[in-house]
């Protein structure tokens, strides 16, 4: 305590009597028994009562001096043990008493802050100490006005050092007041931490990627909904909080949810629910999974119901889409090979159980690859869609699927087979007979169809489908628009083809390929070069021509490796010729599009030291169609190496003139199909004459392929064709057969041994 009891009896005696006497009698008994601890924790009115008691006792009888001093000591201890700073002012705003906590709290001097010090002086002292930042005069006026109106005031003081003080000014009888200063810095820190924690938890709950919903367990009203909950129901949480499911959802959904809530309250055990479909007010039907648990109170009774709900609508839609795509073709929306196989198996099981019959039709679009090569895949895809629509209409109730690329499959089950299968195949071919108009282009196509029947041609899906494909292969070999039913020998031919494809994979490593050379001559007969033609020396089947195995190599991708071998071997051979004749090498469209052709050609020329001008690369115009810009760029790079670029099979494609305009070729080769018909077909003669004239106008040498008769040679000579190639000039043979033509001595013949 800042003042002793004796000093109170002195100078302040009369002034204290004026406002303390009234309360002293009522508080005397309490003051005598109050402990210091209770006083320290009491409110300011209790402190005032104790001060009043001490004053009255002091004035009543000096014989109580000792008791008064003892009481004063207790009061001093109580005040100075308070965690609050305390000041008491009289009606003239003069300090009556303050405790040490107040002085310590603001770092004030007891020489300044002592009884009789005015509030104004005290504030000036605090301002000088840096713990008061207001105008003292204005503050005093405001405070005196509040005390006069008997109003308790409370305000927060934030000090420069970061402390926060709560100040309470409480009026007392007689016009004075008691001020308590409570350092609530730690409390505010905890409150901020708590608020921060609460905000953090709110953020976490609000951003959990699942709906979190809490209801009270008595009335089942919503008390908490996070952001995902709003998204789940399609309702703002403000409209849901305080309401029940009955007020928000359709009857069926409300009854289902209410039943779950009651079950949760009764069992008091967590519940898990999966894939529930229900209708929401604004999102329509959704699919959810949920985990629900009761939150129990101290008595073990449900107080809240917590539900964590996962909206799996999009997931289920995605799964359904994936399952659909796994069984359907994305381009045509038909069942794919997987879906076809599953349906086929079921159809055969049913037929086996009932003694029924099943037919499987394999359908292929003739020359579709050529359309893709010439017009590009975009046109090809559009054509496939148009073909699908026509075939689907004709197929009716038959199961219709896209098996691969331009191949389709049909499954029919009836007792009219094979007649019904033949009629359906005819209708399918007729449906495609009318030309298609795709992006302004008129396209005419045909179908080839192979048919296999259950149970005669097989009893399992794999065997029947393989036999239908064998029949299809035979149909394609028979010409466009053909239909073939499976026959036993077809299976053998299909197996042979597959065996060849298998042997082809290791043929290059075993050195089974060789090159034959066919001469190319000027129209007058002088040989100027050779075309390198690959042959396969099969260990069982003997010599196999390129028409048989090149398509297999292109399908398997082996053409890239085989094509590089052909190029290097032809360059090596030509570099060894004494005469500087040219050598021509065919480049597959697959090799051109997917291989690193420029690097390979450059490497072959460097390794073999063949002069680039002696190498002709023969390409078909299809390489210019799929990606014309890239193709022209590669052709220019090849030509930049010094080689010559020859357009092979000219006249058989769709856009020859346009291709001639896009790239400067070095030579044109007229396809053998036109030459072979020169003597019997006037149209062929007209086309050949026109091509030779075109070449003359463009200053392009023309090579005629397939020249086999003197009449053909005479026609070409009359039209001033530049070069010829064919059996009349020479057949494809090993280069030793043309040793003299290349400047070598003919190989010695071995004498017969008797």
Nearest-angstrom CA–CA distance, 355 and 267: 57
For the cut 80, the answer to whether the pLDDT of residue 754 exceeds it is: no
Average pLDDT for 224-240 = 85
Is residue 39 very low, low, confident or very high in pLDDT (cuts 50, 70, 90)? very low
For the cut 60, the answer to whether the pLDDT of residue 201 exceeds it is: yes
Nearest-angstrom CA–CA distance, 204 and 231: 16
| Mean pLDDT estimate for the chain | 83
For the cut 60, the answer to whether the pLDDT of residue 735 exceeds it is: yes
Torsion of CA 731, 734, 735, 741, to 10 degrees: -30
Question: Which of these, 739, 747, 734, lies nearest to 518 by C-alpha position?
Answer: 734
Which residue is listed with tokens 């037929």? Answer: 351
- Side by side, which strands form the sheet with 164-171? 95-98, 85-89, 177-183, 164-171, 153-158
How far is residue 262 CA from its own chain's centroid? 42
> What fold does the segment set 5-180 form as a domain?
Beta-Lactamase (3.30.450)
Nearest-angstrom CA–CA distance, 106 and 133: 13
Average pLDDT for 386-407 = 91
Percent of the chain residues topping a pLDDT of 90:
36
Q: Answer with the residue of higher pLDDT: 570 or 282.
A: 570
Which residue is listed with tokens 């009716």? Answer: 396
Which residues, at least 6 apart from 447, have a Cβ–Cβ distance to it below 8 Å? 363, 364, 365, 366, 428, 429, 432, 481
Average pLDDT for 700-707 = 92
- 49 token code pair: 């009562």
174-199 confidence digits (pLDDT tens): 889 999 999 999 888 888 888 888 88
Looking at the chain, which residues constitute the CATH 3.20.20.450 domain(s)? Answer: 512-742
348-374 confidence digits (pLDDT tens): 999 999 989 999 999 999 888 778 777
Q: Which CATH architecture has domain 512-742?
A: Alpha-Beta Barrel (3.20)
Q: Judge whether 141 and 151 are in contact, CB under 8 Å.
A: no
Is residue 750 very low, low, confident or very high in pLDDT (cuts 50, 70, 90)? low
Average pLDDT for 83-87 = 90
Nearest-angstrom CA–CA distance, 624 and 662: 9
Which residue is listed with tokens 């409300």? Answer: 254
Is residue 44 very low, low, confident or very high in pLDDT (cuts 50, 70, 90)? very low
Which residue is listed with tokens 């050609």? Answer: 601
**Range 208-316 has CATH code 3.30.450.20:** yes
DSSP per-residue string spanning 313-365: HHHHHHHHHHHHHHHB-TTT-SB-HHHHHHHHHHHHHHHHHHT--EEEEEEEE
What pLDDT is attached to residue 641?
93
Nearest-angstrom CA–CA distance, 153 and 168: 6
What pLDDT is attached to residue 17?
34
Lowest mean pLDDT among 55-64, 199-208, 734-743: 55-64
Burial of 156 (0-12, 13-18, 19+ CB in 10 A): exposed
Question: Which of these, 369, 458, 457, 443, lies nearest to 406 by C-alpha position?
Answer: 369
Which residue is listed with tokens 């003597």? Answer: 679
- 645 token code pair: 């670029």
For the cut 70, the answer to whether the pLDDT of residue 107 exceeds it is: yes
Helices and strands in the chain, H and E counts: 29, 26
Average pLDDT for 587-594 = 79
Average pLDDT for 701-722 = 92
Nearest-angstrom CA–CA distance, 725 and 525: 10
Is residue 567 very low, low, confident or very high in pLDDT (cuts 50, 70, 90)? very high
DSSP state of 714: H
Q: pTM for the whole thing?
A: 0.45
266-301 confidence digits (pLDDT tens): 988 988 887 777 777 677 788 888 888 999 988 889
3-state secondary structure 494-529: HHHHHHHHHHHHHHCCCCCEEEEEEEEEECCCCEEE
Q: Is the dihedral of CA 563, 664, 683, 379 positive or negative?
A: positive
Looking at the chain, which residues constitute the CATH 3.30.450.20 domain(s)? Answer: 5-180, 208-316
Is residue 10 very low, low, confident or very high in pLDDT (cuts 50, 70, 90)? very low
What pLDDT is attached to residue 140?
93
Q: Answer with the residue of higher pLDDT: 736 or 491.
A: 736
DSSP per-residue string spanning 122-147: HHHHHHHHT---S-HHHHHHHHHHHH
CATH class entry, domain 328-486? alpha beta
Is residue 409 very low, low, confident or very high in pLDDT (cuts 50, 70, 90)? very high
Is residue 705 very low, low, confident or very high in pLDDT (cuts 50, 70, 90)? very high
For the cut 90, the answer to whether the pLDDT of residue 569 exceeds it is: yes
- Side by side, which strands form the sheet with 284-296? 222-225, 211-216, 302-311, 284-296, 271-280
Which residue is listed with tokens 């840096």? Answer: 130
Lowest mean pLDDT among 204-208, 397-401, 623-627, 741-745: 623-627
Q: Judge whether 559 and 508 are in contact, CB under 8 Å.
A: no
Which residues, at least 6 apart from 360, have a Cβ–Cβ distance to it below 8 Å? 344, 409, 410, 411, 451, 452, 454, 464, 465, 468
What pLDDT is attached to residue 43?
40
Is residue 57 very low, low, confident or very high in pLDDT (cuts 50, 70, 90)? very low
Taking residue 379's Cβ as centre, other Cβ atoms within 10 Å add up to 18
460-486 confidence digits (pLDDT tens): 898 899 889 888 888 887 777 889 898
DSSP state of 62: G
What pLDDT is attached to residue 6?
32
What pLDDT is attached to residue 433?
87
Nearest-angstrom CA–CA distance, 565 and 546: 15
615-652 confidence digits (pLDDT tens): 999 988 777 765 677 778 888 999 999 999 998 887 66
Torsion of CA 483, 488, 493, 494, to 10 degrees: 70
Taking residue 393's Cβ as centre, other Cβ atoms within 10 Å add up to 10
Torsion of CA 137, 141, 147, 149, to 10 degrees: -170
């Amino acid at each position: 305590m800042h003042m002793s009891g004796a000093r109170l009896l002195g100078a302040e005696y009369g002034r204290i009597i004026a406002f303390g006497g009234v309360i002293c009698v009522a508080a005397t008994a309490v003051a005598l028994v109050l402990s210091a601890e209770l006083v320290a924790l009491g409110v300011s009115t209790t402190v005032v009562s104790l001060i009043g008691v001490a004053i009255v006792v002091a004035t009543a009888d000096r014989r109580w001096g000792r008791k008064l001093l003892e009481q004063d000591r207790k009061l001093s201890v109580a005040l100075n043990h308070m965690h609050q700073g305390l000041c008491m002012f009289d009606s003239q705003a003069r300090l009556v008493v303050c405790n040490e906590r107040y002085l310590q709290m603001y770092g004030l001097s007891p020489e300044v802050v002592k009884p009789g010090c005015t509030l104004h002086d005290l504030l000036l002292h605090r301002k000088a100490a840096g713990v008061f930042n207001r105008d003292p005069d204005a503050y005093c006026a405001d405070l005196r006005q509040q005390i006069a109106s008997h109003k308790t005031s409370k305000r927060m003081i934030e000090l420069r050092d970061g402390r926060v003080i709560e100040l309470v000014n409480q009026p007392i009888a007689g016009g004075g007041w008691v001020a308590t200063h409570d350092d609530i810095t730690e409390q505010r820190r905890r409150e901020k931490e708590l608020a921060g924690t609460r905000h953090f938890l709110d953020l976490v709950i609000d951003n959990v990627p699942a709906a979190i919903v809490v209801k009270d367990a008595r009335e089942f009203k919503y008390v908490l909904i996070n952001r995902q909950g709003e998204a789940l129901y399609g309702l703002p949480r403000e409209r849901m909080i305080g309401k029940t499911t009955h007020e928000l959802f359709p009857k069926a959904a409300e009854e289902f949810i209410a039943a779950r809530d009651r079950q949760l309250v009764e069992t008091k055990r967590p519940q898990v629910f999966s894939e529930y479909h229900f209708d929401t007010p604004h999102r329509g039907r959704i699919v959810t999974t949920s985990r629900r648990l009761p939150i129990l109170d101290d008595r073990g009774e449900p107080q809240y119901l917590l539900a964590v709900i996962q909206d799996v609508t999009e997931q289920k839609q995605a799964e359904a889409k994936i399952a659909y795509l796994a069984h359907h073709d994305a381009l045509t929306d038909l069942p794919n090979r997987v879906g076809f196989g599953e349906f086929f198996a079921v159809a055969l099981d049913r037929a086996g159980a009932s003694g029924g019959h099943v037919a499987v039709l394999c359908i292929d679009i003739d020359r579709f690859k050529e359309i893709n090569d010439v017009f590009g895949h975009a046109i090809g895809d559009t054509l496939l869609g148009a073909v699908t629509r026509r075939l689907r209409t004709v197929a009716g109730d038959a199961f219709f699927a896209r098996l691969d690329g331009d191949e389709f499959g049909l499954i029919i089950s009836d007792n009219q087979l094979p007649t019904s299968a033949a009629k359906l195949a005819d209708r399918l071919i007729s449906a495609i007979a009318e030309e298609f108009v795709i992006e302004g282009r008129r396209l005419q196509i045909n179908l080839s169809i192979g048919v296999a029947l259950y149970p005669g041609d097989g009893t399992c899906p794999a065997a029947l489908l393989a036999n239908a494909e064998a029949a299809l292969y035979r149909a394609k070999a028979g010409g466009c628009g053909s239909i073939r039913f499976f026959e036993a020998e077809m299976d053998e031919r299909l197996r042979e083809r597959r065996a060849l494809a298998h042997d082809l994979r290791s043929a290059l490593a075993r050195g089974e390929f060789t090159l034959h050379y066919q001469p190319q001559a000027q129209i007058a007969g002088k040989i100027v070069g050779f075309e390198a033609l690959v042959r396969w020396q099969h260990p069982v089947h003997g010599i196999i021509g390129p028409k048989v195995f090149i398509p297999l190599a292109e399908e398997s991708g082996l053409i890239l490796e085989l094509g590089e071998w052909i190029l290097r071997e032809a360059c090596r051979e030509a570099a060894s010729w004494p005469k500087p004749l040219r050598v021509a090498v065919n480049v597959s469209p697959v090799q051109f599009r997917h291989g690193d052709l420029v690097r390979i050609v450059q490497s072959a020329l460097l390794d073999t030291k063949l002069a680039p001008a002696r190498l002709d690369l023969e390409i078909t115009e299809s390489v210019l169609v799929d990606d014309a810009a890239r193709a022209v760029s590669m052709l220019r790079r090849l030509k930049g190496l010094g080689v010559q670029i020859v357009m092979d099979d000219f006249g058989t494609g769709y856009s020859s003139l346009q291709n001639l305009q896009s790239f400067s070729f070095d030579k044109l080769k007229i396809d053998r199909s036109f030459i072979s018909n020169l003597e019997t077909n006037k149209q062929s003669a007209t086309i050949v004459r026109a091509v030779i004239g075109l070449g003359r106008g463009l200053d392009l040498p023309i090579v005629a392929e397939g020249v086999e008769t003197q009449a053909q040679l005479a026609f070409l000579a009359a039209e001033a064709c530049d070069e010829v190639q064919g059996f009349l000039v020479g057949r494809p043979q090993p280069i030793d057969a043309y040793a003299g033509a290349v400047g070598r001595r003919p190989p010695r013949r071995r004498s017969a041994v008797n």
